[in-house]
Chains A and B, each alone.
Chain A
Amino acid sequence: MHDAHFLLTDLLFGFSALLAIGLYIGAVLLTNGRGRLRKWPLHRSFSFVAGVLLAVMAVVGPFARLSHDDFTTHMAGHLLLGMLAPLLIALAAPMTLLLRTLNVRLARKLSRLLQSSFVGFFTHPIVASILNIGGLWLLYTTGLYSAMHTNIWLHIVIHIHVFLAGYLFTISLIYIDPVFHRFSFTYRTVVFIVALAGHGILSKFIYAYPPAGVPVEQARTGAMLMYYGGDAVDLLLIFILFKHWYQSVRPRKLVLGVGKTV
Chain B
Amino acid sequence: MTTIHNTQVQSNNRGTFARRNLWSGILFGLGFVAFLDETLFHQLLHWHKFYDKSTVAVGLISDGLFHAFSWFATVGGLFLVADLRRRDALWHKMWWGGKLLGAGAFQLYDGIIQHKVMRIHQIRYNVDILPYDLVWNISAAVMIMAGIGLIASAKRDKREGKGAFSNA
Contact = CB atoms under 8 A, between A and B. Distances in A.
B71 A259 contact: no
B13 A242 contact: no
B133 interface: no
Chief secondary structure at chain B's binding surface: helix
Nearest to B88: A255
A198 B69 CA distance: 12
Contact of A189 (B16, B60, B72, B86): B72
B45 to A, nearest CB: 17
Interface size, A (range): 35 or more
Given A197-B65, A205-B60, A242 B88 contact: no
Chief secondary structure at chain A's binding surface: helix
Contacts of B12: 258-261
B75 interface: yes
B68 A200 contact: yes
B64 interface: yes
Contact of A235 (B61, B63, B65, B75): B75
Contacts of B83: 246, 249
Contacts of B55: 208
B51 interface: yes
A231 interface: yes
A155 to B, nearest CB: 29
Interface size, B (range): 20 to 34
B12 to A, nearest CB: 5
B5 interface: yes
A201 B68 CA distance: 10
B72 A208 contact: no
B9 A198 contact: no
Contact of A259 (B13, B68, B75, B79): B13
B86 A207 contact: no
Nearest to A202: B64
B168 to A, nearest CB: 9
A106 to B, nearest CB: 39
Contact of B64 (A201, A224, A242): A201
Contact of A194 (B6, B65, B71): B65
Interface in A235-255: 235, 238-239, 242-243, 245-246, 249-251, 255
B87 A256 contact: no
A200 B51 CA distance: 12
Contacts of B63: 200-201, 204
B79 A258 contact: no
B76 A242 contact: yes
Interface string B43-87: 000000011010100001101110111011001100100110011
Contacts of B13: 255, 258-259
B76 A193 contact: no
Given A255-B13, A255-B88, 9 more contacts: A192-B72, A193-B72, A201-B61, A201-B64, A207-B50, A207-B51, A239-B75, A255-B9, A256-B9
